[in-house]
Amino acid sequence: MPTQTPALSPTLTAPVAPQHPTPMTKHGDTRIDEYAWLRHKEAPEVIAYLEAENAYASALTAPLKTFEDTLYHEMLGRIQETDLSVPYRLRSWLYYSRTEAGKQYPILCRKAALAGEDAPEHVLLDVNALAEGKAFMSLGAMSLSDNDHLCAFSTDDTGFRQFTLSIKDLRTAALLPMQRQRVTSVVWAADNQTLFYSTEDEVTKRSNQVWKHVLGQEPDTLVYTEKDERFGVHVGRTRSRAYLLLASGSHTSSEVRYLPADRPHGRWRLVCKRRANIEYDVDHHGAHFYLRINDTGRNFRLVAAPLTNLASAHWQEVVPHRPDVMLEDVDLFQDYRVLYERDNGLEHVVMTALATGETHRMAFDEPVYSLGSGANPEWETQTLRYVYQSMTTPDTVYDYDMATRQQVLLKRRPVLGPFDPAQYVTERRSARAEDGTEVPVSLVYRVGTALDGSAPLWLEGYGAYGYPNDVYFSSSRLSLLDRGLIYAVAHIRGGGDLGKPWHDAGRMLHKMHTFTDFIAVAEHLIATHYTASDRLVIAGGSAGGLLMGAVTNMRPDLWHAVLADVPFVDVLSTMLDASLPLTVGEYEEWGNPNLKQYYDYMRRYSPYDNLTRQAYPTMRVKTSLNDSQVMYWEPAKYTARLRVLKTDGNPLLLVTNMGAGHGGASGRYDHLRELAADFAFMLSQLGRDA
């Protein structure tokens, strides 16, 4: 017989952070910040407070430890720990990654393509070896030289997303003496000697400079400096491999320079000068650059620009702008053009044979799914690799023959144990927002789950930067579904779920739509008897954590429990501090509060500034000490103030990973432990059996 989930320890006293009121005045409005002192990361009292909160959270949830372990082993038991990715071919090699049971990180490998299955394995990078003696390890940029001898790669061992560039000689497995700090992107020129890389500003972490390194030569040459603080730079290469690209972009505008890859010491030339509110990216085919650009409409069109004259008067429109279809990406092959489109929130792949102009669109059966381009580095191929998944279908790798229209299933991620996708149902519904807009919501639940309002429901949201909140498969989520939970994703404005206008409708002075959309989705799910407010859990991270803070202030009665992961909750103070990473570039997403209209608007929703004396739901707030995107002090200040103001007896936890960054633990087992702790806590609040 199942046992009831243990109750949390009721006798503990939560930490109380000292108050040191700091007045902050802007536009005649004075805010008092009692916890500004928590910004001083090196101060012993700050670390002591975070550790006290961690100790409190650990003690309060100690009765759940057995349940956490159960969930962890349950979720781990569905994962094939020793596994191999589908190899892809690049020139004369087959590249793949593999994992080994008990090891936290992947091993990146290759084999000679023509040598058969018994060919010896060459290890490019063993991330486990890189991580030895470190609490955190993340790979950043990576680029292989055209002769396949050299691998340039960057690593971060703190979680602060501050990457160190190294070069490995794959013939000898030795690292070259060259290292560079704060590297954000990297690409080789065609001569196998010249490496271009971008670096970030030491204070703001804005990627602002591009450098050229020639093997065996010092010092490096500064190629480009981006002076506009809204813009960041990135280096790459066209799929044809013929051109190097230097892209400079903000949230609303972009500009690309190009250089023949076989002439790395030449002069970078401009494709198209930046213009306000016009974004574009570039690829190359034959005698043309191809620009995906939103100059005639927000959802982008595709144009061909002759290399002999790139002026817009000479552009040829290939795919026009469509108000109801977002052109998200383009892949060019020697004989085919592949478009990745989003129509009514669903992704599609459209292929065109360049010789004949014949076009076809791939069709998919499920009501909600996600597509992604797989590894397609080869130029001369008629095979497209793509990845498909849904909330009931594990991510699946296919090779699709664009000529014969036949596809081959290469691998579906294994889910160990008694998993049957037919035992789960996925749906797509829509909720009407307060202004009449229909907001999509995707749901998944186990067959037999009661749809009479008695089921608990986990509602996730994000809604920012134009990023689509696409559905995905999670074997760990089965631990929720098998305990009778319904899982839902709200595709709210501010994201890119329905194209660029969907983003526009939830940013700047329209940001409130993000929050009211989420509330409307929740109210719809309650009204249609999927759940009730006393069993509704909501979750979001980063900008989705801002969403959690805002809707909890606005409708605390609507939620039973809230999971806010690295939440961006101190919006006003952060956006008024231009010295912080990301701030100036973010003006195009949130607005510049140095201007009164934006200040006043942010003042209405900034979660920290709108905490008030009222009852709040149960909350689990998570952060990481080395987070460079949402600084740890935002959730710490938020929790400290909320403890003083809340009038209820519901649990409030602040959990800080003291050795990681924005994404939490980097190792796969450590990450699973964090997920098990989240699930155990939320399930305990819903009274689910262990």
pLDDT at residue 3 tops 50: no
Which pLDDT value is given to residue 10?
Answer: 65
Tell me: the pLDDT tens digits for 164-195?
999 999 999 999 999 999 999 999 999 999 99
Determine the pLDDT at residue 569: 98
Q: Does position 553 have pLDDT exceeding 90, yes or no? A: yes
Which residues are designated catalytic?
A: 542, 627, 662
CB 328 within 8 A of CB 342: yes
The C-alpha atoms of residue 123 and residue 106 are separated, in whole angstroms, by: 11
What is the pLDDT confidence band of residue 1, given thresholds at 50, 70 and 90? very low
What percentage of the chain reaches a pLDDT higher than 70? 98
Query: Is residue 582 scored above 90 in pLDDT?
Result: no
From residue 441, alpha-carbon distances to 28, 230, 454, 461, 544 in Å are 41, 33, 19, 10, 16
Cβ atoms of residues 76 and 638 within 8 Å? no
351-390 pLDDT, tens digit per residue, is 999 999 999 999 898 999 999 999 999 999 999 999 999 9
pLDDT band at 5 (very low <50, low <70, confident <90, very high): very low
Pick the CATH number of 136-280 from 3.90.800.10, 3.40.309.10, 2.130.10.120, 3.30.450.20: 2.130.10.120
The DSSP call for residue 575 is H
Q: Per-residue pLDDT averaged across 15-39, rounded?
A: 97
pLDDT digits (tens, 9 = 90+) for 500-543: 999 999 999 999 999 999 999 999 999 999 999 999 999 999 99
How does pLDDT run across 538-550, given as a tens digit for each residue?
A: 999 999 999 999 9
**Residue 47 C-alpha from the chain's centroid:** 28
Q: In the prediction, which pLDDT does 365 show?
A: 87
Backbone dihedral region of 133: left (phi > 0), alpha (psi from -120 to 50 degrees) or beta?
left
- Contact between 506 and 589 under an 8 Å Cβ cutoff? The reply is no
Predicted local confidence at residue 7, as pLDDT: 61
Model pTM above 0.75: yes
Instruction: Please report, for the chain, the start and end positions of each structural domain, with discontinuous segments joined by +.
Output: 136-280, 419-685
* 592-615: average pLDDT: 98
Is residue 627 within 8 A of residue 655, CB to CB? The reply is: no
- How many Cβ atoms from other residues are within 10 Å of residue 508's Cβ? 18
Q: Of 663, 655, 590, 587, which is closest to residue 619 (Cα–Cα)?
A: 655
**DSSP calls for 616-630:** --EEEEEEETT-SSS
Tokens of 484: 């009778």
Rg (CA), the chain: 26
Q: What is the pLDDT of residue 218?
A: 93
H helical segments located in 116-241: 127-130
Q: What is the pLDDT of residue 4?
A: 41
Q: How confident is the model at residue 115 (pLDDT cuts 50, 70, 90)?
A: confident
* pLDDT, tens digit (0-9, with 9 covering 90-100), for 255-312: 999 999 999 999 999 999 999 999 999 999 999 999 999 999 999 999 999 999 999 9
Indicate the average pLDDT of the chain: 96
The single residue listed with the structure tokens 């920012």 is 464
547-564 per-residue burial string, b: 16 or more CB within 10 A, e: under 16: bbbbbbbbbbebbbbbbb
- 88-182-659 Cα angle (round to 5): 85
Read off the pLDDT of residues 118-166 as tens digits, 9 standing for 90 and up.
899 999 999 999 999 999 999 999 999 999 999 999 999 999 999 999 9
Regarding the domain delimited by 419-685, which CATH topology (the fold level of the hierarchy) does it fall under? Rossmann fold (3.40.50)
